[in-house]
Structure 1
Amino acid sequence: MSRKSLIQRNNKRHKLENKYCCIRQSLKKEISKIYSKRKKWEINVRLQSLPRNSSRIRLHKRCFLTGRPRGNYRDFGLSGHILREMVHACLLPGATISSW
């Protein structure tokens, strides 16, 4: 299990990212349309005034069950060893694991 404080920190970042998503996208679109350096600078200052944790790049994918930050499969949202255990227990239909 991952530390609960790290999981809560990541959940907080998810909420901030959802809250400021539209604002961040609209500012980035404005920057791409404008040619004046002064206007771009002003928009960039507004973009930087948003909370740092509201950026999508700061999010970390974690295992749904254990909270493990590494070795996650996007399709299932699980880490590798949990996925393997579930396949062996026949909890994931259609998934086969090789054994020899």
Structure 2
Amino acid sequence: MVIEKKVTTKYIDGIERSYIYKVTQQKQDSILEYGVKVTREDISKDKKVTSVESEVKYISTKKEMVTGIINILCKNEVSPIHLREIICDYVDTESINF
């Protein structure tokens, strides 16, 4: 289930490129956990020409942490193809600070 969404759009050579960042919620063993889904959609002449999506589930039980992650992803216009790498680096850094 998607519980929060952010969108950023830019135009490159006549193509509308939108990045959609979502906080997702899943239940595992009666525990609510949050993840991230990122989609890139390219639209040209009102037709979707490309759509790429990536998702990482079960990042944290803390919604605020995952919301912070999508804010960073949106601010930096992170592509779905880099999502797993960025999430791994972020979680590793947070683990060190714990």
**Same-fold call, TM > 0.5?**
no
- Select the structure that is richer in helix: 1
- Select the structure that is richer in strand: 2
TM-score (norm 2): 0.25
Structure of larger gyration radius:
1
TM-score (norm 1): 0.24
